Amino acid sequence: MAVLVEDIAPRKGRIPGAKWIEWYDFMDRSLAIPAFKSTQEIQSICAAQGIYPDDEIIIYCFKGARASNTYVALKEACFKKLRVYFGSWNEWSRYPQLPIEEGPR
């Protein structure tokens, strides 16, 4: 039996200018208990997206939960100007006057 899951985000896309990095990309999953990768590894992952430790960074996900993991990873990797947009995409997508980017990320 197929189960239909209703998508609760009214619009698809992302906040303009956002860079996509999955939260688990910062995790070393080869360990028995996964932990954050090294500062150098995290900084390298971010640099590949044009994100650097002195940049002002606002982190978001769908509703703010996964963004908190990213916040801790970046803080531990010496990123200085971090904030979490707690309402995240769940909130942003509900306001049609706010711009979005669509298409491939």
Question: Beta strand 56-59 with 81-84: parallel, antiparallel or unpaired?
Answer: parallel
Alpha-carbon span 11 to 18, nearest angstrom: 16
Query: Residue 63, Cβ neighbours under 10 Å: how many?
Result: 15
Is pLDDT of 7 > 70? no
Question: Beta strand 56-59 with 27-28: parallel, antiparallel or unpaired?
Answer: unpaired
| pLDDT single digits (tens) 45-78 | 999 999 999 999 999 999 878 999 999 999 999 9
- Residues 24, 29, 31, 33, CA torsion sign: positive
Active site residues: 61
Q: Tell me the domains of the chain and their CATH numbers.
A: 23-92 (3.40.250.10)
